[in-house]
Every structure is written in structure tokens, then in C-alpha cells.
Structure 1
Amino acid sequence: MSKSCNTFLEKMQKYTDEFFEETGKTTVTTKELAVWAITTNRWEPPMDLVVKKCQEDFARAMREQHINNERGQPVRVKHVARIRSGDQQLYLWGDIRNMPQEHMEISFQQRREQIVGECKQLKRDVDFYNEQNIGAEKYQMVFDFREDIEEGEFSAEYSPVRTSIGDLNSYEVEPKHSKKVAK
């Protein structure tokens, strides 16, 4: 272990001892210790950690920003394109209403690649599940999304808000574009 790491750990250990001494407590959670250390100005996050968290917050906010088109359907406002500049990889965000066409084409293609990657992984997962459950009905996933996309063209009720499995009424729900097939 390097000397600087050892020194840092020793400093954190010293703060832990100070906490016990100052509060008179004999036990503590790391969350309680962290709040105490921050509020007593003993610890502050490194700037790169603060910047990274801020970047993540901005990215999440931009991904979730939507406007409605003329049919009342939600459209994502901010789009990202991953590009190379010299030896650096950059994630450039822009507004769909005024972004250059080249940027939008890169963004659309990269999002499509992500969807294809998710479908490939889902197929592997379904195949593995079927292989592990010999004797049970095979689960077959349909990867033709034309009906879903056409249906979305007529529905202004689509919401980009994510739902969880807890939102389902029961486990008897049959997914629309999957089916069980006999072995």
C-alpha cells in the first residue's frame, strides 16, 4: 500500500476516533459518520467526484426532457452524440430543434445501435432461460417492432416515464409481443 493511501486511511481513522470522542457514542453507521465529517468540515468530496456527479445529473435531466409534437406525442428534446476529437471521446449534447443534421444522424445511429445491443442481449437471455428449463414451454421473443411503432404513431398517450414490475397487476400478464411455444 502506498504511503499516501496509508496516510489518507490514517486520517479517516483519526476522524472516526474523534467522532466517538466528541459524541460519546460507541457505535456509528458510515452514513452518520459521513454526515458528521462533512458538517464539521473534516471531509469534502474531491472536485472530480463533484464534477462527475454534476455531469450525471445533467445527462439524466437532458435525457428526460420532452416536448410534444403536433399530434401531442412526446419527443425527446436533447440528444447526445459520442464523437472522437483527437485521442479524446466526447459526448456532445444538443437540442433537436436546432442541432446540425450531422450531429442528429450520429445520435440516431448510436441510439439504434444501443437498441440492437439490448435486443441481442435479450435474445441470449431468453435462449439461456429456455435451455435451463428443459421440459417447460419454450419462451419465444418476437423482435419485429413494426406493430409497436405503428401503434405509437396513433397514440398520444405514450409516456416516456419508466414503470417497474410492481406496476403489473399479476404475474399472469402475457407480454404483447412474446409467446410461449410448446417444446
Structure 2
Amino acid sequence: MSAYSNAVKDYVERYKKEVRNDGLVDPHDVAAWAYKNGLHKPNIKTVIDAIAADISQVFREEYRTDPSGKRYRAKHAVNSKGKDNRTLALWADIDDVNAPHGHFVRSFGQRRIQIVGDCFQLKNDVDVYNEKDPAREQINLVLDFTNDVEELQLPIKDSGGKAA
């Protein structure tokens, strides 16, 4: 374990003794307490990483509506390895005519891989849960989303706002 990790563990233990000792730890509360007490002084890289994470979150949350009423995500990322071997996320706006087509091909492909990975992990979790007690009613997991997507694409009724 690194010296940094050990320092963090030390001030988390101090926080638990001095502030909250109920077995629950809120990292934001610990961070605020450690910063206020001079136990953690972020370096410029940490500050830049935090701001970059905020910018990425704003990008992730930006949605628009096309003329036909379809709501779509405006910004899309492609993750790759930078020169220093750290993960680099480059974002492009779907409405920016200068954004290269290949960027969106890669972005949509990466998002699909993430979804497949989530489904794989969910299936493993459900299988393990079901195997722990075969006498219990088994949870059936359907991973074919065709009908779900089609249902979400149905037009919205004018009265009540529910899908048709």
C-alpha cells in the first residue's frame, strides 16, 4: 500500500474516533473534515482531475430533443490510453458538424461494450443468488431488451403522459 493510501486510512480512522463512530463512513464528510483540519492538502493534479470530472458529468447530463420529439444525449465520449498510459476521455457534441464520424462509431461501440459487461455481471449476480438457495423461488433474468426498447419508443399519449 502506498504512503498516500496509508495517510488516507490514518485520517479516516481518526475521523471515526473524533467525529462519527457508528460504523458508517461518508467519504464527502471525511474529505471535508480532513481538508478543514489540514490533514489533506490536494495538489494541482487532484484539483484539475476534480474539475475535469465535473465537466464530464455536465457533458453526460446534457440532453436535447430533435424536431420529431426524440430526446438524445448531446455529448459522447471515447476513452483511450494517453501518452502517459492514463485513460483519456475525448468528448464530442452530436450536433457539431466538425466532430468526426469515427468518434461516434467508437463511442457507441464502447457504450455497447459497457452495457454487455453490466449484463454479464448482473447475470452472474443473479445466478449466484439463485444457486445459494435452490428451494427459493428463482429469479428469472431476461436479457433480451428488444420489447423494452420498442415500448419506450411508443408515442406518448396526450392525455396523462403515459406510453401508448
For structure 2, the residue ranges without an aligned partner over 5 or more in a row are 8-16, 20-29, 158-164
Is the 2:34–2:40 Cα contact (8 Å) retained in structure 1? no
Alpha carbons of structure 1 residues 143 and 137: separation in structure 2 relative to 1, 3 Å: same
Aligned residues: 134
* Corresponding position of 2:62: 65
* Corresponding position of 1:80: 77
SS in 1 for 2:140: strand
Supply the distance in 2 between the matched residues of 1:117 and 1:50 (Cα, whole angstroms).
31
Q: Identity, % of aligned pairs?
A: 33
| 1:141 aligned onto 2:141 | yes
Deviation at 1:86, TM superposition (A): 5.1
Give me the TM-score of the superposition, normalised by structure 1.
0.62
Give me the TM-score of the superposition, normalised by structure 2.
0.68
Question: Following TM superposition, where does structure 1 have runs of at least 4 consecutive aligned residues deviating by more than 3 angstroms?
Answer: 27-34, 84-89
For structure 1, the residue ranges without an aligned partner over 5 or more in a row are 10-26, 158-183
Supply the distance in 2 between the matched residues of 1:33 and 1:52 (Cα, whole angstroms).
19
Alpha carbons of structure 1 residues 145 and 48: separation in structure 2 relative to 1, 3 Å: same
* Corresponding position of 1:34: 35
Alpha carbons of structure 1 residues 77 and 85: separation in structure 2 relative to 1, 3 Å: same
**Higher-RCO chain (CA-CA 8 Å, sequence separation at least 6):** 1
Supply the distance in 2 between the matched residues of 1:47 and 1:155 (Cα, whole angstroms).
49
**Aligned partner of 1:51 among 44, 48, 52:** 48
Alpha carbons of structure 1 residues 47 and 103: separation in structure 2 relative to 1, 3 Å: same
Supply the distance in 2 between the matched residues of 1:75 and 1:154 (Cα, whole angstroms).
15
Deviation at 1:56, TM superposition (A): 0.9
- Aligned-residue CA RMSD (Å): 3.2
